Amino acid sequence: MRALLFLFLFPLLNFGQTAFNDAENLYTNKEYKKASLLLAPFVAENPNHLEAIELFGDANGQQKKWDSAIEQYQVLVDKRPDNANYQFKYGGALGMKALTINKIRALGIIGDVKHAFLKAAQLDPAHIDARWALVELYMQLPGIIGGSKSKSLEYANQLENLSQVDGYLAKGYIYEYDAEPELAEKYYKLAITVGGSVTCYDKLTKLYEKEGKTNQAISVLEAANMKHKRNALHYQIGKVCADYNVQLEKGVYCLNVYLENYSANDGVPKGWAYYRLAQIYKHKNNSQKALFFINKAIAELPDIAVFKSEKELINTL
Answer whether residue 10 is part of any domain: no
Q: How far is CA 109 from the centre of its chain?
A: 23
Final residue in a domain of this structure, among 186, 213, 229: 229
- Alpha carbon 96 to its chain centroid, in Å, reads 13
The pLDDT tens digits for 46-76 are 999 999 999 999 999 999 999 999 999 999 9
Could you tell me if 259 and 302 lie in one domain?
Answer: yes
By the 8 A CB rule, do 215 and 247 touch?
yes
| Torsion sign across C-alpha atoms 291, 293, 298, 304 | negative
103 with 135, same domain?
Answer: no
**Do 198 and 271 share a structural domain?**
no
Whether 73 is covered by a domain: the verdict is yes
Q: What is the pTM of this model?
A: 0.86
Instruction: State pLDDT tens for residues 251-272.
Output: 999 999 999 999 999 999 999 9
Of 124, 151, 186, the residue at which a domain comes to its end is 124
Residues 98 and 180 in one domain: no
* Residue 11: inside a domain: no
| Cα angle: 152, vertex 158, 160; to 5 degrees | 105
What is the rounded distance in angstroms from the CA atom of residue 76 to the CA atom of residue 52?
Answer: 10
Q: How many domains does the chain contain in total?
A: 3
Q: What is the per-residue pLDDT across 180-213, written as a single tens digit (0 to 9) for each?
A: 999 999 999 999 999 999 999 999 999 999 999 9
Please name the amino acid found at residue 94: L
Q: Do residue 142 and residue 176 come from a single domain?
A: yes
Residues 305, 310, 314, CA angle at the centre, nearest 5°? 150
**CATH code (residue 213):** 1.25.40.10
For residue 314, give its domain range: 230-317
